[in-house]
Amino acid sequence: MGTKTIWKLALIAGVIGLSFWLIYPPEEKINLGLDLQGGSHLVLQVDTSAAVKGEIDLAINRIGQGLKEKGITYATIANPGGTREIAITGVDSLRASDVRELLRANLPDWEIGNVETTWTIRLPESVRQLIEASSVDTTLTVLRQRVDELGVKEPIIQKQGSAGDRIVVELPGIKDPEAAKDILQDQAKLEWKAVVYPPEVTDFERWFPGTSREATLALFGGSPPAGIELVPQYGVGPNGTRTEVWWPLQTVAAVVGNDLRSARRGVDEMQRSVVDFTLSPEAGRRFQAATRENLHRHMAIVLGSSTKKEVVSAPIIQDVITDRGKISGRFDLKAAETLALKLRSGAIPTAVSIIEERTVGPSLGRDSVKAGVLASLLGFAGITIFMLIWYRLSGLNAVVALLMNVVLVLGAMAYLGATLTLPGIAGLILTVGMAVDSNVLIFERIREELRLGKTVRSAIEQGFSRAFGTIIDTHVTTIVSALFLLGYGTGPVKGFAVTLIAGLLCSVFTAVFVSRFIYDVVLGERRNVESLSI
């Protein structure tokens, strides 16, 4: 065996060994798609109109905080229902220039109007459209961050539909679909708000609100004052019954969820689960001022969305807090970890609803794997029988190359971290067909050369040489088509394209290089070879 042959053998053995190393153990190295291992397929609808409402609410918060910091008095800041306007009433007319400067700094793209002590800020149509488009992109980013923290391998999260307001989420192998749906839908909009006490209250630490909305409203004469909202807090009584109280809170929040820098599950002095949070420096300064103003009073931690809010806890502020704190609310370990995850990934800017849900059970996934493997084995067996009958021992050469091709494809997929799906298995079977087609082209060329009276070595040389151009042409055109599927397809279509491209590239190596090497080894150093089993 010559030096050249030894180098070829070393290359082939190295490639095979590397492929086996990449795919072993296959249950850990080969990522299976939703259709093969089970999981959840969800289509989410993004409420872009709620995103506009949320932006208006955020603008109200910013304006309220800014006016308070500048010491500008006002009566109310409100958004008249169903409009894109914010009305500020009772503003000191002598501070008009300061108010305008504040509004321009915080809302540079909004239309600002002023009549005496009333200011009106209107959201332009162009900005509204930008907010709606941005809300979908931001939601997509937040969902990806939350799914990444769930530890799901190879999830699919992408926009769908002509309007671009739907998001497809596929979670292969997810073990708790209900918990995943909660994490994907919960806006996790966090706010710290000061509690508003009724006029006659003097003992702020002992005061507690009513156990119903009506009872709390009665404390304010039947209707809440301007700039106040009522938010419930739910709990569990001693006998297991559900309890609730309704807190009167300032509409303007001292700190919002976007001010969070980090959130982690922790424990308090009693070893109860809490969520430790850290604020940005700017938010820390605002929170310090808010807690100083509310010393020995309740401040509520509110979690929810623009349409549904709930008080997580309403602790009494015992000391001034800057940029670090704890959220306590009788959490168990899992609930604290889930809340921290939601807060870390950021708030979803708008309401998200599930409009389509499909769950694939693990047993169905296993059945799909068995069916795919069986189909592959039957196809491979059929090809093996045909090649052995039609090309005799040369057919065995093709079968060895095909086996190596399958191993190389799986190794390439494991290295790339690609996901194997049912269409991917179909792509693998198609790859086997393309690979054997290359061998057929080579073998038929060799037969033609033998019929022309060429020697066996010359026929093999000419067969591989003349078939090579045709093989490259067919593979390149198919790879170009697969690249379009990879670029514009989604989910399973991409899985099919990845498998097909990897298979075609590997088949050029196995059908040309490996098959030729097998002939060289079989023929050995013999100068005169009289016949070839083909």
Interval 409-439: pLDDT, tens: 888 888 887 777 778 888 888 888 888 888 8
Would you state the pLDDT for residue 415? 86
- Confidence at 231, pLDDT banded by 50, 70, 90: very high
Residue type, 487: G
- pLDDT per residue as tens digits for the range 127-150: 888 888 888 888 888 888 888 877
Does 403 have pLDDT greater than 80? yes
* CA-based radius of gyration for the chain: 34
Are residues 184 and 323 both part of a single domain?
A: yes
pLDDT for 142: 84
* Predicted pLDDT at 329: 65
- Evaluate whether residue 381 is within a structural domain: yes
C-alpha to C-alpha distances, 485 to 161, 413, 478, 488, nearest whole angstrom: 18, 17, 11, 5
Residue 188 shares a structural domain with residue 272: yes
Give the residue from 35, 300, 287 showing the smallest Cα distance to 170. Answer: 35
DSSP 455: -
Number of domains composing the chain: 3
118: phi then psi, degrees, rounded to nearest 5: -115, 130
Does a structural domain hold residue 532?
no
To the nearest 10°, report the CA torsion of 518, 523, 529, 532. -30
Say if residue 330's pLDDT is above 70: no
Last residue of a domain, one of 358, 378, 397: 358
My answer on whether 446 and 486 are in the same domain is yes
Confidence grade of residue 38 (pLDDT, cut at 50, 70, 90)? confident
The pLDDT score that the predictor gives to residue 527 is: 61
Q: Domain residues for 152?
A: 127-358
Classify residue 298: in a domain, yes or no.
yes
Secondary structure element (H or E) that encloses residue 331, with its range = strand 324-331
Mean pLDDT (the chain, rounded)? 83
Q: Regarding predicted confidence, which is higher, 28 or 509?
A: 509
Q: Confidence class of residue 490 from pLDDT cuts 50, 70 and 90?
A: low
- Flag whether 529 is in a domain: no
- At residue 195 the predicted structure's pLDDT band, cuts being 50, 70 and 90, is very high
Look up residue 355 and give its amino acid. I
Does the pLDDT of residue 6 top 90, yes or no?
A: no
For residues 382-416, one letter each, b for 16 or more C-beta atoms within 10 angstroms of the residue's C-beta and e for the rest, the string is: ebbeebeeebeebbbbbbebbebbbbbbbbbbbee
Q: Which residues of 75-89 are buried (b: 16+ CB within 10 A; e: fewer)?
A: eebebeeeebbbebe
User: 339 falls in which pLDDT band (50, 70, 90)?
Assistant: confident
Main-chain dihedrals φ then ψ at residue 336, nearest 5 degrees: -65, -40
Copy the structure tokens of residue 18. 């590397």
Closest CA to 37 of 365, 373, 360, 495: 365
| Least confident residue range of 188-197, 240-249, 370-379, 466-475 | 370-379
Q: Is 86 in the same domain as 229?
A: no
Residue 248: its pLDDT value, please?
A: 93
Domain identity same for 139 and 110: no
240, 351: one domain: yes
**Listed residue (331, 343, 310) closest to 146, CA to CA:** 343
Q: Is 32's pLDDT higher than 70?
A: yes
Same domain, 385 and 322: no
